[in-house]
Structure 1
């Protein structure tokens, strides 16, 4: 068993206990904070996610981005255990991946690698004040953005976590493969973690 598993279970249980009204309200507050950040204002290509399992709903933020003409991308599982990002529009056909999560139907001409994006809104289970992110345990985001850990001056895209306030923990054990967040947006506001 991984040392992070008990914390992951506890935070997922707390997240799942939220009512739909609480989740909707939190997603709207996060969107209001996000649109006033320099990350959002400077971004042209923004990736988000479709919330599952009580994750903070990124949809209000993605719709706000879409309304002001930003290009929206959603993650697609790649065969090598990383993520590709597929362009999303209101006409994009969707399918379910092997985890049952909706994703855009693959189309090579509408797909980007992570480094071509400006801003990536990431789901998470927990985070700490240093920008360490606790995900679901699959490592998809860490593998996709590993180049940011290996090339410290390359910070594109900005990886911004979306979370409920209670998901902040005192400290997370940091593994060699973990890619930190540039910032976090919660219903209480937005914070940077020392990188653009």
Structure 2
């Protein structure tokens, strides 16, 4: 489905997604948010990242490590993003370490789909599975929110025992809730 989207479709979806996401109580109350920079045909995150930063939220962005784990760095604006491996855009600032995500009150996750139980289908690299396991091991319980397109909230997706459900999905048409809030 994503392969049919044009750059204009992606930009429009990203703007709508940002409007809905910014209304989430999970983001309104967050001093620190872990997010990501969308690439390719993923739902656009740039408008959301810039709006959060303008609100004074500390936005942490991932930096992919050689073992597919994620380090984190603060988002300082689009001018501080550099092209990295696998076509990813990463912040060029100080690396804060994989544990920096523990400071996040909300974690915005990429995905391909989510089901009515909040089970998120990722891209298969395992990077965010490691992040979620790290959060669990530390006893951290940030709100987990996946950013998707309309049509990617499904009745059921394949899940595994280690999967941690998300509380919400934000799509261009609105917010979908699956469990606890804020």
Task: Give the TM-score category using the shorter length.
Answer: 0.7 to 0.9
Q: 1:177 aligns with which of 147, 156, 162?
A: 162
1:70 to 2:57 alignment: yes
* TM-score normalised according to structure 1 size: 0.82
Measure the CA separation in 1 of the matches of 2:150 and 2:20: 13
Which of residues 147, 150, 155 in structure 1 aligns to 2:141?
155
The TM-score normalised by the length of structure 2 is: 0.88
Name the Cα RMSD after superposition.
2.3
Residue of structure 2 equivalent to 1:102: 89
Paired residue for 1:84? Answer: 71
Check conservation: 1:87, 1:110, Cα contact below 8 A: no
Which residue of the partner structure matches residue 173 of structure 2? 188
Paired position in structure 2 for 1:136: 123
**Can you give the 5+ residue segments of structure 2 that lack an aligned partner in the other structure?**
none
Does the aligned pair in 1 maintain the 2:39–2:89 contact within 8 Å?
no
1:29 corresponds in structure 2 to 16
Shift of 1:149: 5.4
Does the Cα contact within 8 Å between 2:72 and 2:96 map onto a contact in 1?
A: no
Q: Is the 8 A contact 1:86 1:112 kept in 2?
A: no
Instruction: Name whichever of 115-124 and 97-106 sits farther off.
Output: 97-106
SS at 1:166's partner residue?
coil
Q: Distance in 2 between matches of 1:174 and 1:133?
A: 8
Q: 1:91/1:171 Cα in 2 relative to 1: closer, same or farther (>3 Å)? A: closer
Q: Which runs of 5+ in 1 are unaligned?
A: 1-13
Contact 2:64 2:70 (8 Å CA) reproduced: yes
Does the 8 Å CA contact 1:128/1:171 hold for their aligned counterparts? yes
Check the 8 A contact 2:81/2:92 in 1, yes or no. Answer: yes
User: Structure 1 residue 31: deviation in Å?
Assistant: 0.9
Alignment partner, residue 113 of structure 1: 100
User: 1:160·1:181 contact (CA, 8 Å) conserved in 2?
Assistant: yes
For 2:174 and 2:78, the matched residues in 1 are separated by 32
How many residues align? The count is: 181
SS class of match (2:154): coil
C-alpha contact 2:32 2:58 (8 A) present in aligned 1? yes
